[in-house]
Amino acid sequence: MNKTLNTILESSKIFTQEGNVATYIPELSKANPNNLGICVVALDGKEYYSGDYDKKFTMQSISKIITLMLALMDNGEEKVFSYVGAEPTGDSFNSIANLEVKNIHKPYNPMINAGAIMTTSLIIGQTIEEKIGRILDFTRKLSNNNDISIDQNTYFSEKETGDRNRSLAYFMKSYNSMQGKVDDILEIYFQQCSIEVSCIDLARIGAVLANDGVLPWSGERVISKHICRITKTIMVTCGLYDASGEFAIHIGIPAKSGVGGGILGAVPKEMGIGVFGPSLDAKGNSIAGIQMMQKLSKKLNLNIF
Ligand code: GLN
């Protein structure tokens, strides 16, 4: 497997020269576009990797699956989906259009920014610190990595430049569709996006999802099978925003991307995958990361369809 990953990584390096690193969050513009890493965690707990697999980057939108699962565990399916929908948008991840024109009460799904801000608002806790602490602890548990923490520079950078997210949140608040204090909810959202991970962490989280909520390394159940199924389904339909359809056709793996350059994949009953390449396409997805996922899917016949 390591040999396969090396071959895939080497043949994808050329794609790191395409696209651009994210710049709308200034801290992300410091990323090195030449970085490229991949890790696979099999359901027997064995780990395989290549390239910059241990290089750290921020989760960004990949954190949206963490908060979706936590919100579902805290509130149940019915309540969560009374606040946020489960339909793909075909629009960019930070679009505000649908909120006003189509459905003012509910953001379309929990993988776009508006929907993720809504799910974050549903996390239970007395204080901001308690809520972000629960998100961090859950991420640490799913990645078997107690060192996971928030990159303060990215967090401040997000906070300083997060006016689009503020607009989305105030818009939802203005229609009373979101409860709680906007500033507090965004504080948590900016911090969750700034959680630092490596490809190994992503692949382990993917492996837990692939294993229906049981930690492959200990046998402990941490998420119900039902919540894992909902999460993987939403990853298929909305995980790469308005590129989800094409990704499903060519790769066919439930996945979630982030503008930090990471993509997390969960192949049911098979493996978790973490890839990293910070150069992004116009839709905010890692170009070389998608290439590596596509080659891996073809080589190992991972397409679930
Ligand atoms: N923190 C980013 C934002 O809110 C996350 C977006 C993403 O990864 N697509 O804009």
For 258-299, the DSSP string reads -TTSEEEEEETTTEEEEEE---B-TTS-BHHHHHHHHHHHHH
CA-nearest of 258, 297, 222, 304 to 40 is 297
Please pick, among 241, 244, 256, 297, the residue that the annotation labels catalytic.
241
Q: Catalytic: 214?
A: no
Structure confidence by residue, pLDDT tens digits, 10-62: 999 999 999 999 999 999 999 999 999 999 999 999 999 999 999 999 999 99
The angle subtended at Cα 109 by Cα 28 and Cα 203, nearest 5°, is: 55
Percent of the chain residues topping a pLDDT of 70: 100
189 is catalytic: yes
**Distance from residue 30's CA to the centre of ligand 1 (Å):** 16
* Interval 49-99: pLDDT, tens: 999 999 999 999 999 999 999 999 999 999 999 999 999 988 888 888 888
User: What are the chain's domains?
Assistant: 2-58+197-300 (3.40.710.10), 61-193 (3.40.710.10)
Helix residue ranges, H only, the chain: 2-12, 63-75, 77-83, 97-101, 113-121, 128-143, 152-161, 163-174, 182-193, 199-210, 225-238, 244-250, 287-300
Per the annotation, the verdict on 241 as an active-site residue is yes
